[in-house]
Amino acid sequence: MASEQRLQRILIIGNGGAGKTWLSQAMGERLGLPVTHLDDIRWQPGQYGVARDNATVIEDTRRLSEADHWLMEGVYGWLAKVLLPRTDLLVWLDVPEEECLANIRTRGNQGGAREESFAELLEWVATYRTRGGSSCYQAYLDLYDGFTGHKQRLPDRASIGAFLAGFVPADQLT
């Protein structure tokens, strides 16, 4: 993808379990971009599930967006809005909920969260197309449709793999 070779600020959004972390790590390595997981900004360090102050999270996200090169991923539509003005490429992983749930079950409970929290996460992911808020299907559709820069909506693993294969590794760029 010749045009994507010049992209320096990439945002990946999608439902929990969609593959955002996997894709961001693979793209970050391939493109030589630093990767930021919005979960690391949202939650208290070492305390996944304990939220930081929203104003502080927004300010930290805005400050990170000022860098010349970055790749960020997460489920937070309200943080995506902070990043979009500086985003060169928006990638939406819009894979089926059943696949997201299977991925979450496979990776298991993360960060020492309580079993109740894990059950709540599964319910949250399962209701992706029917729930409200800034991290639901409709909110992502609105973000995607309103974004005027480069964008890709990837509905399945095959399209995600083909998308990633189109990026030339940073060490091969001339």
Q: Whose CA is closest to 18, among 82, 61, 75, 81? A: 75
- Phi/psi zone of residue 108: left (φ > 0), alpha (ψ -120 to 50 degrees), beta? left
Determine, yes or no, domain membership for 91.
yes
Determine, yes or no, domain membership for 22.
yes
Which CATH number characterizes residue 125's domain? 3.40.50.300
Give the distance from CA 117 to its chain's centroid: 20
pLDDT, tens digit, 9 for 90 and up, residues 82-91: 999 999 999 9
Confidence of residue 71 (pLDDT cuts 50, 70, 90): very high
Query: What is the pLDDT, as a whole number, of residue 114?
Result: 67
Phi, psi of 42 (to 5 degrees): -70, -45
How many structural domains are present in the chain? 1
Write down the pTM of the prediction.
0.91
pLDDT, tens digit, 9 for 90 and up, residues 116-153: 778 899 999 999 999 999 999 999 999 999 999 999 99
Averaged pLDDT of the chain:
90
Determine, yes or no, domain membership for 172.
no
43-57: average pLDDT: 87
Determine, yes or no, domain membership for 168.
no
- Quick one: what percent of the chain has pLDDT higher than 90? 75
pLDDT > 80? residue 174: no
Question: Helix and strand tally (H, E) in the chain?
Answer: 8, 7
Confidence of residue 168 (pLDDT cuts 50, 70, 90): confident
More confident residue, 80 or 47: 80
User: Over the range 50-73, which residues count as b (16 or more CB within 10 Å of their CB) and which as e?
Assistant: eeeeeeebeebbeebbeeeebbbb
Phi, psi of 85 (to 5 degrees): -60, -20
